[in-house]
Amino acid sequence: MPYLFTSESVSEGHPDKVADQISDALIDNFLAFDAESKVACETLVTTGQVILAGEVKSKAYLDVQKIARDVINKIGYTKGEYMFDGASCGVLSAIHEQSPDINQGVDRKDRQEQGAGDQGMMFGYATVETENYMPLALDLAHALLLELAVIRREMSEIKYLRPDAKSQVTLEYDDNNQPTRIDAIVISTQHDDFDEEARMLDKIKHDMISILIPRVKAKYPNYAHLFNDHIKYHINPTGKFVIGGPHGDTGLTGRKIIVDTYGGKGAHGGGAFSGKDPSKVDRSAAYATRHIAKNLVAAGVCNEVLVQVSYAIGVAQPMGIYVNTYGTTKVKLNDGEIAAKVEQIFNMTPYAIETRFKLRNPIYSETAAYGHFGKQNEVVTKTFTAPDGTVITKQVELFTWEKLDYVDQVKAAFGL
């Protein structure tokens, strides 16, 4: 029987995402000047105010106010009328030194024996549904807001857009779990004030359907047929959306973990990513399990897979690895046997994960909006400036966990 499945996304100007981006900008700056930094940094944003809190062990000294303001300005909060802008907001720092009780469980004389920074379980997921092995509903939801941000910065076709926005996509699936059509699209976008609310709503709805949707549809040639004339559109369904961003709602780091991962497909261990250095397995092991899942699917082991790993704080070896192929396996092994092979192929100790994915580099700002997975692996050059004027330029590789560099090893192990 056909069924519906929905995923949502939020823009870089959503208050929770503003907080995530500030936290990850701090991580990048700490790692740029001291690759061994241990950081757990939370951010709160509200009307005209940014509050930073957390624990840090680092040789680096940062101008956290400037870093926060630069992020806010880059997002697009640059006008006083937004009641939150990079030039005038207050920035309060309550960052302090990391507890030695926690640190003693992580650091080891032999780096390869480095313990997990916390207990917990992490999940990775992949599917053949899209070219980037991501769930289609989430991929479309991200694409809508990424394109909306491009349009906002172009200031050509639509001139009234403000940074805060949300999207939601509902797909219909058939009995074979194949998407057959888009049932509904929800877009709520912050905007400049209009003289007449009715005219405003009509114009925004017209622009979203006639300008935004065709641009997104063009990015999905394989799924163009899903964009039909019967899609239910809910564009700014509550009406006026002038007050938004941190002035409309308080934002906190780590409140969009489903947007950050798989849009409700698969599972989530509960730990947020942003603001955490890679010794925190909430982040690093979630990246590693995504890498496993993606390489398994790309190698042809299965069409869909969920991979779980779990840790005890201070212990290097994981408690165990779990695999669920949802009945899509293409090899003559059950899920337990597949998991056993995965343990042999992938070293999942925290130090091995950090090393394999080059995680002690400043690569995290790019993860903090529109999802941590499904992005393009690429090498970029980034520049950081310390309060004393020291400038560091680094060439770093982004989204290393999206590489299909273990496909050959997986195929060999499974006889494919």
* Known binding positions for ATP: 14, 164-166, 240-241, 249, 255-256, 272, 276
Q: What distances in angstroms separate CA 368 from CA 14, 186, 211, 375, one per listed residue? A: 12, 22, 26, 12
The count of C-alpha atoms lying within 13 angstroms of the C-alpha of 1, restricted to the half-sphere facing its C-beta, is: 0
Residue list, annotated binding site: 14, 16, 42, 55, 98, 164-166, 240-241, 249, 255-256, 272, 276, 280
- For residue 274, how many C-alpha atoms fall within 13 Å in the half-sphere facing its CB? 32
Strand 304-311's sheet: what is its strand order? 120-127, 304-311, 320-324
Binding residues for K(+): 42
Enumerate the known binding-site residues for Mg(2+): 16
269, β-bridge pairs: none
Q: What is the distance between the alpha carbons of residues 125 and 305, in angstroms, rounded to a whole number?
A: 6
Q: What is the DSSP letter of 402?
A: G
Extract the annotated binding site for L-methionine. Answer: 55, 98, 249, 280
147 alpha-carbon distance from chain centroid: 17
Provide the pairing of β-strand 49-57 with 90-97.
parallel
Structure letter (DSSP) for residue 116: B
Q: How far apart are CA 376 and CA 229, in angstroms?
A: 31
